[in-house]
Chain A
Amino acid sequence: MNRIKYKVSKGTEQRKSHLRIKDAIYDAFLGFARNPTRTFLAALGTIIGVGTLVSVSGIATTAKQQVTSQFNSILATEITVSDNSVGHIPFSAQERVMHIKGVAHAGISWQLMADVNVARDLSVSGPQQFSTTLPIYASTPDGLTQMQADIITGRLFDKGNERRFDRVALIGSIAARQLGITSVANRPAIFINGTPFTIIGIVTGLFGQPSALSSIIIPASTGLDLIGSPYAGSYLGHKINEKFITEKSNAVLQNSSAQEPTMYVTTAKGAAGVVGKEIAYAIYPQNVNALSVITPPGPDLLSNAIEGTTATLLILLGIVALVTGGVVIANTSLLSVLGRTSEIGLRRALGARRKHIAVLTLLEAGCIGAIGGMIGASLGVLATVGVAATHTWTPVLSYQIIVMAPFVGAIVGILAGIYPSIRATRIEPVSALQH
């Protein structure tokens, strides 16, 4: 007996049941290709699952992109540069910053002092002098744009006024009312600390702050010339500084509290992030920490914020969708296995090992999952494009998720196929073949 048994294992060594993976794939392919209805029903779960995943992610990224570009175009172009305790903004800063690629405007402005005696010469209409104390700003012509100065009547000062240190001033709408100025046609004059200035325009806007509307704005060069540096004798751009700080202006500054200058830089759309990084180098290459550069929350920050809220939802939805898809595959696979009991019994009778039955069922489930993944991804793309089209947005989809979809589907299919395939291997040929 032992001798014969030995012979069995020896004798059947070359005659073992074996299934090449290529043939198994072909067999599985015939299995689902010849049963399109069954395949479709089984794939429906993954179609819905992957479809949901792709469309949710697509719509989320599309919406994100949309918000980002809107944000970019409105807000994300303004950079504020101000002093910190280490350094000051030199006047040459404006020039240097303008050379940075992506910069549209750059302007410097500062509030000269809290209390400046402003008097209007009323000699034309009477002998009295009207006198009050108003805040005064100094600004470069470009700085006016940054201050959002809107002309009501007259004109803004320009580079020419700036170059010539002209004694011209703009007046805020509230200050104009206080001083009784309604028109600039007859060139009204005011005295700032005794120096006459011609009012060339009445402005509104001014940071959108009502308090700023009761102020007077003079060209930055004039301000420096007349009243001096906001740094009380320290440098504000070497040349201008040396040239124009006078004893008189020093004296004025000593008993007034000038605010430090702020530079406002407007960039091209989306360039704020890059420009922001270069500004410090352009102004103070020797010490990039000398200034504080405040860039708006750029697309990165913003999309992170949006991603934070949508990512959780996205992942949850995706998981729910995929689990649903998996359950549907598991269900249909199980039904299909139970419905094919006699086929499986027959295959076992014809020489298939339990392993071969498992491979076949798993391959079928995996392929159905992959097909579902592909169809689902296509539908997801269509849904994204559709939603984007109705909002006239640009559809944005990460290609990774589309490439991954069939694999995700296949993995879901294989996972879902595990239990049905175990059930399939348990089918006994004898009972399966009874009619």
Chain B
Amino acid sequence: MPDQLVVLENISRIYEGPNPVNALVNVSASIQQGDFVSIQGVSGSGKSTLLNVLGLLDRPTAGKYILNGLDAMHISERERTDLRCYYIGFVFQSFHLLATRSAVENVELPLYYRGINRKKRKESASKAIEKVNLLHRSASFPATLSGGERQRVAIARALVGSPKLLLCDEPTGSLDKNSSDNILELLEELNETGLTVIIVTHDSAVANRSKRHLYVVEGQLHE
């Protein structure tokens, strides 16, 4: 059981509204510790919805979600925040870096919420930045970095808290072929060190780099 990092059972997510959308329908899956999983699917199929459920950003309408052996469904918003804080790292297509903070300050950000003092934050952030080979740009602001560099800063930020699960939503969606390869290599390296990586993409070339391929078709998950 402990090496089953993620267990989903019959997860569904219905967006209420004038036209309710069944974004996820009875999704069941389990993901091992150390896996490198890609989730593919056409636009609007429900990939992001699934990733948000996995990342505890969104609550499924029904189903069972066990993360690292812990019930992640029947817990309060605060407890979900605690789990996000310590277990999950996020990488987004549009980087989501703070424009007024330098690279290293962006990487420090998650550590504020772990009660870590400034000196240790700086140390850990520098180590994480070193891992993504950007130490020489630590003090640079996002506006002066290339797309690939920005995404590497974002990955360093996701790594700085040593999460168990790295969730990437179209991490190469805004990058050219070269930068994209660069990022994928980095993700592979991280996976090799034991990090569980889940990457959402509609690009099969990207998905081919993963060990395991999942497909979302109209809210349903296929292996």
Contacts and interface: CB of A to CB of B under 8 A. Distances in A.
Given A4-B70, A5-B75, A8-B75, A30 B100 contact: yes
Interface in B78-107: 78-79, 81-86, 90, 92-94, 96, 98, 100-101, 105
A120 B110 CA distance: 111
A351 B52 contact: no
Nearest to B78: A353
A350 B110 contact: yes
User: Which 4 pairs of residues, A with B, have the shortest CB-CB distance?
Assistant: A351-B85, A34-B100, A351-B113, A17-B85
B138 to A, nearest CB: 16
Given A4-B69, A433-B92, A30 B105 contact: yes
Max chain B C-beta neighbours (<10 A), residue from A1, A4, A346, A349: A349
Interface residues on B, range: 35 or more
Nearest to A350: B110
A350 B69 contact: no
A18 interface: yes
Interface string A406-435: 000000000000000000000001100111
B136 interface: no
Contact of A8 (B57, B79, B100): B79
Given A351-B81, A353-B81, A15 B86 contact: yes
B112 A19 contact: yes
Given A7-B69, A19-B115, A23-B118, A343 B94 contact: no
- Does more than half of chain A's interface fall in helix, strand or loop, or is it mixed? helix
Max chain A C-beta neighbours (<10 A), residue from B74, B93, B96: B96
B114 interface: yes
B109 interface: yes
Max chain A C-beta neighbours (<10 A), residue from B58, B82, B90, B94: B82
Max chain B C-beta neighbours (<10 A), residue from A7, A26, A433: A433
A15 B82 contact: yes
Interface residues of A, number: 40
Given A7-B69, A23-B118, A350 B109 contact: yes
Interface in B39-66: 48, 52, 55, 57-58, 66
Contact of B79 (A12, A19, A35, A356): A12
Contacts of B100: 30-31, 34-35
Contacts of A346: 96, 98, 109
A31 to B, nearest CB: 8
A354 B55 contact: no
Contacts of B90: 349-350, 433
A22 B74 CA distance: 33
Given A30-B100, A34-B100, A349 B82 contact: no
Interface in A1-38: 1, 4-5, 7-9, 11-12, 15-20, 22-24, 26-27, 30-31, 34-35
Given A22-B117, A353-B78, 10 more contacts: A5-B74, A15-B82, A15-B86, A17-B114, A346-B109, A349-B57, A351-B110, A352-B112, A352-B113, A433-B57
Contacts of A5: 71, 74-75
B123 interface: no
A61 interface: no
A350 B110 CA distance: 5
A430 B57 contact: yes
